[in-house]
Every structure is written in structure tokens, then in C-alpha cells.
Amino acid sequence: MSRNTRYGLFFISPSIAYFIAFWILPAIMAIYYSLTDWTVSRPATWVGLRNYARLLADPQFRRSLTISGKITTMVLVVIVPLSLGLAVLLNDERLRASHFFRLVIMLPVVTDWVATGLIWGLIFLPYNGVLAGIFLKLGLRSWMSLPWTGSASLAPFAIVTFTVWKTAGLYTIIFLAGLKGIPTHFADAAKVDGANAWQTFQHITMPLLRPITAYVVMSAFVTTIGLFEPVFMLTGGGPADATRVLPIFLYENFFQFQNAGYASAAGVVFLLICLVFALVASRVLQYTYYE
């Protein structure tokens, strides 16, 4: 190895050690324990694929998988166009105080999940919450009593709202970086050819943003489907298991029921779902290039 290579490996070795210790080894241990009946109170005994067969027949697991899919889909449908739209606005040179707006958009991203979850719990309170006060000002008194986190039909929307507010700023900045990286002469050539702003955005900007869009979709999917704090802080998985997402399912089976082997199997399935989605997104990115 060359001197520069050795120095490079030396400086990145802490990150490599961290990744191996806190990501690779836990994943390997989860795969091993998913093939056992390990509980907190007794040693692990090899059971093979019994935990996975039990998962396939478990209606609670299938329900948690469905709920996670619905909430993640709703977040993706909202957060991708919202982040892209905000990025386009912030990229407009005519916008004054753009740096201030970037700071405002990033504030939710850098705040703590638990702290902001407590605040949003107060916002969603019926009658006395911030939303109830807004509805009162708008003359919508009947909406003041809406139990946002206490209703099986409204609780998923409360989690989606909180998640979008918390993470949209990060994806906006990523889209903004992609917009800044697009050469301006493409848009100038389109204007010369008579294209309007929408045609330029549709046929030039969006195709060139395709790699960024694929990354945002993949990152938002992995982040949202693995969220534990907002669900635990706002609803705890309720009401009536309406927000019992996969992380809540794992938490309950491991820490409450102490079925560590079964929870490890669910965690491995969860990991495979994320890997499959990441593979699909990466293949989309693979066939996208700049000319």
C-alpha cells in the first residue's frame, strides 16, 4: 500500500471500527439469535427457522407490517414533493433572506425527537392544544374536540404530520444541493428554444435530479419505516393497535414479553425489507447518468 493509502486507512479506522461494532456485529448477532428461542431469562436453544414460520402465521406481525407500510407510504407521498417544492423556492435568486428560511427549515431536523414529540403531544391535545386554538380562531369549534392521538383513524395522520415536519428540512437541503449542481446553460438553452418554466422543470430539471430523488426516496423510506420515537411518544402504538408499527412490535416482544429470539427474527425481516427497497432504489440510480 502507498503512504497515502495507509494514512487514509488510519484516519478512517475509527469510523470503520464504529460501523463494525455497532452495525455489522449486531446484525450478525440478530441473525444468529433469530434462529434460537433465546429469552432474557434462559440461554438460547437452536430452533432453526421456527421463529420465521411463526412470524408468517402471526396476525399481529402482519398487521404491524401493514401499518408501517401505510404510514411510510403516506410520508413519502407528502415529503418528496413538499421537499422538492421548498427546494425550488429556496433556489430562486429573487427570494430575499433565503439563508434565514434555510435555517428555519433545518431547525426541526436538528432538534431532539423526544423533546419535539412531547411538544407535538401538547399540540394535538383536544380542546387545550395548539391545533384546537387554531380551529377556534378559524370558527371550527367542532374540530376542537378531535382526538388526534386518541382515535384509530386520526392517529396515523398525526404521526405522518409530525414526521414530515421533523424530516422535510433535511430532504429540502438535499434537493437544494442537487438544484445548485445543475448547470444553468441547460435552462438557458431551453428558454432559447421557447420552453416555459414548467417545461424546463419537467424535461430538464427533473431528469437531472433523478439520482437525488432516488436517494431521497430511499433515505426517507428507511428513516420512516424504522421510526420508534414519534410513535412511542405520541400514541405508544395505540389506540387499538392503529399505530403499532414494526419498531413497536420489536420493542414489545423483546423488552416486554422477553421473546428475544422471536424479536430478532422480526428484526431480520425488517432489515431485509429495507435492503430490498434500497436495492430497487439503487438500481434506479444505476441507470441514471449525466451527459
Kindly report, residue by residue over 13-24, the tens digit of the pLDDT.
999 999 999 989
212 φ/ψ sector (left φ>0, alpha ψ -120 to 50, else beta): alpha
At 286 the pLDDT is 56
CA distance 65 to 90: 36
DSSP letter (8 states) at residue 229? H
What CATH architecture does domain 64-286 belong to? Orthogonal Bundle (1.10)
Number of H helices, E strands in the chain: 15, 0
Kindly report, residue by residue over 71-124, the tens digit of the pLDDT.
999 999 999 999 999 999 998 888 888 888 888 999 999 998 989 999 999 999
Confidence (pTM): 0.88
CA distance 167 to 71: 14
